[in-house]
Amino acid sequence: MAKKPQKPASNDITQTTGNAGETHQRAGGQAEYLTTDQGIPIADNQNSLKIGERGPVLLEDFVLREKITNFDHERIPERVVHARGFGAHGYFQPNKSHAKLTRAALFQDPSVRTPVFVRFSTVAGSEGSPDLARDVRGFAVKFYTQEGNWDLVGNNIPVFFIQDAIKFPDLIHAVKPEPDRGFPQAASAHDTFWDFASLTPESTHMLMWAMSDRAIPRSYRMMEGFGVHTFRMINAKGAVTLVKFHWRPKLGTVSLIWDEAVKVNGADIDFHRRDLWEAIQNGDYPEWELSVQAFTEEQAARFDFDVLDPTKIIPEEVVPLTPLGTMVLDRTVDNFFAETEQVAFCPANIVPGIDFSNDPLLQGRLFSYLDTQLSRLGGPNFHELPINAAKCPVRNQQRDGHMRTTLQPGRIAYEPNSLDPAQARESVERGFVSFPAAEAGDKMRIRPEAFADHYSQARQFYKSLLPHEQRHIAGAFAFELGKCEVIAVRTRMLGRLMLVDRELAENVASALGMEGMADKLKPAVPAKDLQPSPALSQYAKAAKSIEGRKLAVLVTDGADDKLLASIRKAAKAEGAMVVVVAPKVGGFKTAGGDRMPADFALNAAPSCLFDAVVVAPSEAGVEMLLKTAAAVDWVRDAFGHLKAIAYTEAAGPLLAAAGVEPEADVGVVPLKGRDGLQKWITAAKGHRLWDREPMVR
């Protein structure tokens, strides 16, 4: 007897493109129904076809495949997403054997280094967009292991906007430049994105992260990475552990503030690229620790969320991180196009000892990435490009195809065969074997009810942040929504924020001049007040350090030789770089009569490019700087961007012209006596003077 069609779960929208419990009536009556490119009516455009609520996505889902295939081929040859990227080579080395966790070869021997290639990227912008757009950052790592290539393709944020890959084309279409006008570029601050986001309650948690400082990192070297999805690790005995992947930078996780990022984009569109290139060229090799949150199926069943939901995290207080080893980037590319542009990542590239989960977003990515590479790189043999080629033996019966370069002799191009006993055969002992997970259930387009809580973790994230981080989120929402022309989009998003935190929503509404105008929305699952997780704050866990930072000294003719030497020595001891900024790039003459080169001319090096500054002109030189707007702005912006400022007595008039009172706070330090320089370094180690912020903004 035939079964009745499955009704959507209560957390699915049937009236709009939203996804979980909250409904919004369409304006203007009944809309025309959606169809495939073949004209077949679509019953559900929100969910992939799965076996049961939590089962794997089926290959027969022609709606998903058609939609993503079309999307993957929209841009040739530029990547549809993650077009703006920069890469480097390095290695991964385990800290010990992790044989109890996984049989994967790269985690067995702490003396073995596995080569890697890493590509960092922004998501929304084109290849020519600025580095410091407010955006998610891609964090993709290709491991060239002894058992083949493993691609861990993640982001610098541990959650995502959507729960099911079938919505990915809609998300990206919404955030990309609006198709009738071709702008804005590399920006989410426009109507189509916020219309989609406000109608997609599952995006709420990700929006909190995207509006936080995480979306404007100081450097790729100071950025966390996450695998986002739940994966499986399997050891030699077949025992399974569920894991979430984390990358932690040695230099800590820090960001810029919005006004600073805007000015950096104007001064140096390649700020992140240049920073990584210079660090590696100078021998300051960036490092990250790879860790996992490891847990069992039984533990996962006790969580108050579903580990297959990519919009959820597992707080580190619930499942602590287990370090696996260290990744070091020690070599820049030789050719940007051949390596950074032609590298092809695919989450389906895994090695024995690692396996997938049924996360519906991951399941769609397993198809999408391979499909898009076929178009972008011209055919099925992109794996033969040097940057993509495995560094272990490759033996199979694949032949021919566009741009095939491997010359394979002999008459045998099939398997099994009896004509060539030396041909490679399957290996039960060494080969990849999928975990034999038992799956049962009806074929259906549906989300589990466990995916329906969209606000508890969004609230937890906000409550876990320090006050200045919370202020920045409110400011970001106000800026972004202030760019939206459609009032209904703003009021709907304010209603969404009310479900996260009333104070946040009211602060955003006040900044917009829209007090009391938030839509009243009913969540499918009301937000719970979860315990704050200090690990979610960048700065609550940040080490006091200036290692890897760039410090600037503003000088003129007559600058103090000894002071410059002392600054360089003190910075070097802390692992920081010092650059000299002078009125002209040709250099300056010191008080001792020496001619010294400048690293930058003043008009080409605003203070937003540096992490902390010293203002050290001579008495004669400061008179000239007072007549230079760039010099006044240099000091004013350093103060406004909350940076530590050291100054000589001669610099006093310049500080006054910039509106900076001497010793305005502990971050404005006179270079008097033996401890002045050390006080400045101590202040700079806090990254920013957050207590100053309410005074300047």
- Alpha-helix runs per DSSP H in 164-203: 168-175, 191-198
Outline where DSSP puts E strands in 585-687. 588-589, 595-596, 600-601, 612-615, 645-647, 668-670
Both tokens of 249, joined, read 């930078």
Outline where DSSP puts E strands in 56-126. 85-94, 114-122
**Burial annotation 389-416 (CB, 10 A radius, 16+ → b, else e):** ebeeeeeeeeeeeeeeeeeeeeeeeeee
**Burial annotation 79-113 (CB, 10 A radius, 16+ → b, else e):** bbbbbbbbbbbbbbbbeeebeebbbbbbbbeeeeb
Closest alpha carbon to 45 in 201, 194, 169: 169
**C-alpha distance from residue 579 to each of 100, 123, 271, 576 (Å):** 48, 31, 15, 10
Amino acid at 315: P
- Name the CA radius of gyration of the chain, rounded: 27
What contacts 482, CB < 8 A, 6 or more positions away? Answer: 189, 511, 512
Closest alpha carbon to 151 in 159, 166, 141, 160: 141
Active-site position among 149, 155, 265, 381: 155
Measured distance CA(19)–CA(21) in Å, rounded: 7
Amino acid at 536: L
Longest dimension (CA), the chain: 98
Measured distance CA(533)–CA(556) in Å, rounded: 48
Annotated active-site residue 82? The verdict is yes
Annotated active-site residue 70? The verdict is no
How is the beta sheet containing 668-670 ordered, strand by strand? Answer: 600-601, 577-582, 550-554, 612-615, 645-647, 668-670
Active-site position among 82, 190, 246, 472: 82
Cβ atoms of 386 and 343 within 8 Å: the answer is: no
Measured distance CA(615)–CA(311) in Å, rounded: 46
Q: Would you please indicate which residues are annotated as catalytic (active-site) residues?
A: 82, 155
